[in-house]
Amino acid sequence: MLTRKQYQLLVFIDARIQETGISPSFDEMKVALSLKSKSGIHRLIMALEERGFIRRLPHRARALEVLKRPDRMERDKYAAPSAAPAAAPAFRPSVVEGRKPAERAPLAGMIEAPLIGRVAAGVPILAESNIEAHLAFPAVMVRKGGPYYALRVKGDSMIDMGIRDGDVALISSSDTAETGDVVVALVGEEEATLKRFRRRGSGSIALEPANPAYETQIYRPEQVAIQGKLAGIFRAY
């Protein structure tokens, strides 16, 4: 079963593709669902992809394909957002440039993940949700979890854990964390940072660097949204 927001986003994407042949931008989806941050759209897309309703097409901007529509129970339960145009009666999946790409078999023993912007390891930067590329990682080298996405590390605040500026961090999507986990945390719905997560009682959350040159950041629980847990670090030489 889909949540209301997942259903509304799926209907909006499907209607926009059928109308224009191009999937909507993250900003358009954010406005259609009345969300404050593009990170919420990213989580909804990851959930729809995990459930097999959509897929992201590699090496193309704004490239989403709708694979299936909700069942009748979900259609009856939820209404589409007012910003979404009415869906056509017949379901005809469309993709960017008006053609369906050739089917590509998954790589054996590999995990594929979209590379999404950059995450700060130091001073937080504005979260970016644009997909730069799709990457493949050896499954035997990755912590179990998923679905996955990848982020470029910027800064040196996690250097004592061997995480360097320019590394690619593979992240297992999750909205919860335990004390001691290295997480991607969205601070104030606008900025993302890679830090070690610790709870301090019920009143505060600490985001700890792994570099004595940086200070631990303390926030109220409502200021921090967990975006995922570190599953692996990859580096090019």
Active site residues: 157, 195
Q: Are 226 and 197 in contact (CB under 8 A)?
A: yes
Residue with tokens 């179990």, as numbered in its chain: 144
Residues forming beta bridges with residue 184, ordered by sequence position: 194, 228
Measured between alpha carbons, how far is residue 20 from residues 34, 35, 114, 128 in Å? 22, 23, 24, 25
Q: Are 183 and 177 in contact (CB under 8 A)?
A: yes
Q: Are 211 and 158 in contact (CB under 8 A)?
A: yes
- Give just the sign of the alpha carbon dihedral 198, 171, 61, 78: negative
Supply angle C-alpha 121, 50, 197, rounded to 5: 30
